[in-house]
């Protein structure tokens, strides 16, 4: 049985796509894996498909997406690739990111003792200009897991990146069946999956740095990362709505963050 199915979702990242594919092919592991490249780029790079045609464990999907929002486009690519996955676990990765050589080896070791539904490793930030990498240092890593923060502010899991996620295939299938992810305009699949697993399964963060996340090119994260932008707050409001609807707890404590987010969204609506 195939252990891992790696879904590479790409949109106009053709300059980085081969690097991503090679980082998977060069994995230092004895576990079996397959690669499904799910691409909605404006220009289809069929020469990559031709170049790797001898690899029986690589499949290319060139898709046409009609979705307005990039987050929905990402969901569409992953759901489309899921139909071809045979692995016990699904690894997600964006076309401009790449894996460390030992990623599948370390993930496999972790899964020997603990059959997690969803694992998140930590990213190395890779600067495309300087070609240098460094560990992601985030203050949220320290306060997000505090009991008082979860009780007073919000109890969402800390999520690093789509490319850091490894999920049981059956969990991903259930996620698309049981939730309505395409109703979300601003939330990427990483936080959607993480919240879903936190409520219905389990979500584990590892301290191991196994994924290189690209910095310096246009990507989805930059659209929502600025706290002064309306997109930041609109996404946050949508995240609260998704969490509350999914949890199905009528008396759930929404936290300070819920009320602050609604105030900010109301204010932004007035000034715009």
**What string of H, E and C letters represents the secondary structure of 237-250?**
HHHHHHHHHHHCCC
Host H or E run for residue 118: strand 118-127
Separation CA 117–CA 263 (nearest Å): 35
| Domains present along the chain, CATH in parentheses | 4-219 (3.90.550.10)
Mean pLDDT, the chain, rounded, equals 90
pLDDT at residue 225 above 60?
Answer: no
Question: What Å distances lie between residue 139 and 136, 142, 145, CA to CA?
Answer: 10, 6, 11
**pLDDT at residue 217 above 60?**
no
- pLDDT-derived band of residue 109, with 50, 70 and 90 as boundaries? very high
Within 10 angstroms of residue 140's Cβ, the number of other Cβ atoms is 11
CA 73 – CA 185 distance, rounded (Å): 10
Q: Residues with Cβ < 8 Å from 263, sequence gap 6 or more? A: none
**At residue 272, does pLDDT exceed 70?**
no
Which residues, in sequence order, are CB contacts of 83 under 8 Å at separation 6+?
none
To which H or E segment does residue 210 belong? Answer: strand 204-215
Q: For 26-53, what is each residue's pLDDT tens digit?
A: 999 999 999 999 999 887 778 899 999 9
| 112-136 average pLDDT score | 92
Residue 196 has pLDDT above 90, yes or no: yes
Check whether 249 has a pLDDT greater than 70: no
pLDDT in tens, 145-191: 788 888 888 888 889 999 999 999 999 999 999 999 999 999 999 99
Closest CA to 165 of 137, 144, 135, 195: 195
Which residues lie across from 211 on neighbouring strands? Answer: 99, 123
187: left (phi over 0), alpha (psi -120 to 50) or beta: beta
**pLDDT over 80 at 127, yes or no:** yes
């Amino acid at each position: 049985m195939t252990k891992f199915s790696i879904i590479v979702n790409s949109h106009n990242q053709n300059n980085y796509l081969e690097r991503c594919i090679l980082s998977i092919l060069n994995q230092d592991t004895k576990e079996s894996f397959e690669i499904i490249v799910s691409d909605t780029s404006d220009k289809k790079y069929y020469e990559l498909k031709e170049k790797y045609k001898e690899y029986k464990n690589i499949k290319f999907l060139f898709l046409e997406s009609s979705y307005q929002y990039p987050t929905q486009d990402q969901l569409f690519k992953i759901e489309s690739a899921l139909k071809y996955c045979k692995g016990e676990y699904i690894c997600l990765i964006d076309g401009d990111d790449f894996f460390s050589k030992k990623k599948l080896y370390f993930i496999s070791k972790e899964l020997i003792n603990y059959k997690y539904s969803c694992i998140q490793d930590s990213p190395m930030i890779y600067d495309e200009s300087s070609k240098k990498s460094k560990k992601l240092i985030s203050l949220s890593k320290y306060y997000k897991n505090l009991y008082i923060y979860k009780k007073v502010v919000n109890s969402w899991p800390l999520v690093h990146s789509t490319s850091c996620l490894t999920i049981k295939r059956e969990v991903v299938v259930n996620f698309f069946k049981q939730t309505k992810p395409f109703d979300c305009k601003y939330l990427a699949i990483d936080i959607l999956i993480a919240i879903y697993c936190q409520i219905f399964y389990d979500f584990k963060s590892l301290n191991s740095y196994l994924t290189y996340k690209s910095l310096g090119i246009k990507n989805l994260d930059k659209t929502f990362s600025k706290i002064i932008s309306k997109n930041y707050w609109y996404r946050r409001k949508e995240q609260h709505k998704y969490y509350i609807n999914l949890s199905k707890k009528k008396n759930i404590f929404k936290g300070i963050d819920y009320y602050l987010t609604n105030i900010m969204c109301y204010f932004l609506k007035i000034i715009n």
